[in-house]
């Protein structure tokens, strides 16, 4: 399925760049499941905010949220592995001239509106408390 406009909550393959990797010269991140959390449309460009999804996390610290089994099914993730949305860092990319984000790529799935709202509120809390780091991909 091709979609020219991924809605918030879409889970897709994206070469997410972790903060610890961003300082390495010529590091090429691998594609991983990631969640498009927000789109900000401007006159000529749209900025997208993308959160990493991984099977390792510490939900007690507030740096990530564990993804429930029902949400893993909706998102096209394995139900047999733990999965977390990370909130301590996020990638910001832009279209239409991104080298990494493809708005026409087929999604893996999509989180429900209540779950993505929970994730967005948790990210906003981390931003307000200066516990989230932006990584620009332009």
In angstroms, the CA 32 to CA 17 distance is 10
- Is the pLDDT score of 115 beyond 50? yes
What share of residues in the chain are helix, strand, coil (percent, to 5)? 20, 30, 45
For residues 137 and 17, what is the distance between their CA atoms, to the nearest angstrom?
8
Q: Which of 6-10, 27-31, 38-42, 44-48 has the lowest mean pLDDT?
A: 27-31
What does the pLDDT look like over 53-110, one tens digit per residue? 999 988 777 799 999 999 999 999 999 999 999 999 999 999 988 999 998 899 999 9
Q: Which helix (H) or strand (E) holds 46?
A: strand 46-54
pLDDT of residue 61: 79
Structure confidence at residue 1 (pLDDT): 40
């Amino acid at each position: 399925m091709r979609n020219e406009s991924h809605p918030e909550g879409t889970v897709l393959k994206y070469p997410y760049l972790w903060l610890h990797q961003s300082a390495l010269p010529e590091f090429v991140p691998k594609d991983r499941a990631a969640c498009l959390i927000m789109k900000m449309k401007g006159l000529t460009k749209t900025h997208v905010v993308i959160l990493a999804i991984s099977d390792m996390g510490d939900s007690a610290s507030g740096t990530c949220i564990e993804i429930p089994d029902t949400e893993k099914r909706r998102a096209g993730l394995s139900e047999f592995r733990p999965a977390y949305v990370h909130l301590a860092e996020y990638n910001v990319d832009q279209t239409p001239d991104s080298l990494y984000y493809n708005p026409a790529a087929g999604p893996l799935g999509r989180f429900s509106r209540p779950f993505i709202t929970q994730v967005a509120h948790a990210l906003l809390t981390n931003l307000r408390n200066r516990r989230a780091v932006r990584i620009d991909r332009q």
